[in-house]
Amino acid sequence: MAKIKETDKIVFIGCGAMGEAILKGILQGGLVRKEQVTAAVPTAKRQAYLKETYGIPVTGDNREAVAGAHLVILAVKPQMAKEAVTGDLVAALPEKATILSIMGSYDLAMLHDLVPGHPVIRTMPNTPLSVGMGMTALTADDQVAPEVLDEAEAIFQSCGETVRVDEKAMEAITAISGCGPGYFFVVMDALADAGVMAGLPRALAIKLAAQTMAGSGVMGLKTGLHPAQLRDQVTSPGGTTIAGIKALENHGVRGAFYDAVQAVLDRSAALKK
């Protein structure tokens, strides 16, 4: 894993759910010292929380935050990008600063318009980053120095897996791993509800559903087997699991995922306009 120089300053513009997950990962993983990191968020409450929890410098002034920055992580909602990254902020950026965006539906061309003249990296992380199990895709323009891209990848490797991709894959990746935790929490909640219906206490039903999802995911990763083979291992002929799977298929579970992914692609395209 690439190292980040002790003299390099990393700045978060916006530090909510995802920004904090990345911040926690790089501090806990020892990738950077807390003195190297600065966060800029507008509300006093969030500023106080980040300062107290992580001991990092925090400010409400985005321009002040980027002074001396090596890497600027844009972790605001895409709808807030133009408000957060004003012309004044761009003027205050050090000439060599690289911009790393985690904003969904914000492509490299849009990033170049936002931060003209700076190398840009586009990423799509996900919330399991906060427990060291993230999945992050990265793509960059050819202005990004290879060592800076390595450092950017190291940030996300400190809290999960990474993959470098062509930009054209980013929207589909958003629909699978970026939004995926949302789908799986719906499934977890639904399975737990069904357990409650079958008479289990709520806390036990949630634990059974969550550990089963986590264990199945790890099996998929560790065995390298096709999901259909893993499903077959659970499914005795004439047994109980196949009865449950038939009910799921009757309810169109596969079609529901095709539709979910298509809905994200459509929404992403609409947001770009």
Ligand X SMILES: O=C(O)[C@@H]1CCC=N1
Known binding site for NADPH: residues? 62
Q: What is the DSSP string of 192-249?
A: HHHHHHTT--HHHHHHHHHHHHHHHHHHHHHH---HHHHHHHH--TTSHHHHHHHHHH
Q: What six digits make up the tokens of 200?
A: 């289990």
Three-state SS at 70: strand
Establish if 268 lies at the interface with ligand X (CB under 6 A): no
Q: In this structure, which amino acid lies at residue 186?
A: V
* Among residues 36, 38, 62, 268, the one that binds ligand NDP under rule CB under 6 A: 62
Establish if 17 lies at the interface with ligand NDP (CB under 6 A): yes
Of 26-34, 39-47, 192-200, 206-214: span binding ligand NDP (CB under 6 A): 39-47
Nearest CA to 56 out of 70, 71, 36, 42 is that of 36
* CB closer to ligand NDP, 83 vs 249: 83
Establish if 180 lies at the interface with ligand X (CB under 6 A): no
Beta carbon of residue 78, minimum distance to ligand X (angstroms, whole number): 7
| Binding characters for ligand X, 115-154, by CB under 6 A (x = yes) | ----------------------------------------
- Contact by Cβ (8 Å): 11, 40: yes
Q: Which does 50 bind (CB under 5 to 8 A by kind): ligand X, ligand NDP, none?
A: none
- Contact by Cβ (8 Å): 65, 11: yes
> Tokens 């789908």 map to which residue?
183
Establish if 19 lies at the interface with ligand NDP (CB under 6 A): yes
User: Residue count at the site for ligand X (CB under 6 A)?
Assistant: 4
Q: Which does 40 bind (CB under 5 to 8 A by kind): ligand X, ligand NDP, none?
A: ligand NDP
- Residues making up the chain, counted from first to last: 273
Q: What six digits make up the tokens of 147?
A: 């060592």
Residue nearest ligand NDP (C-beta atom)? 16
Q: Which does 140 bind (CB under 5 to 8 A by kind): ligand NDP, ligand X, none?
A: none
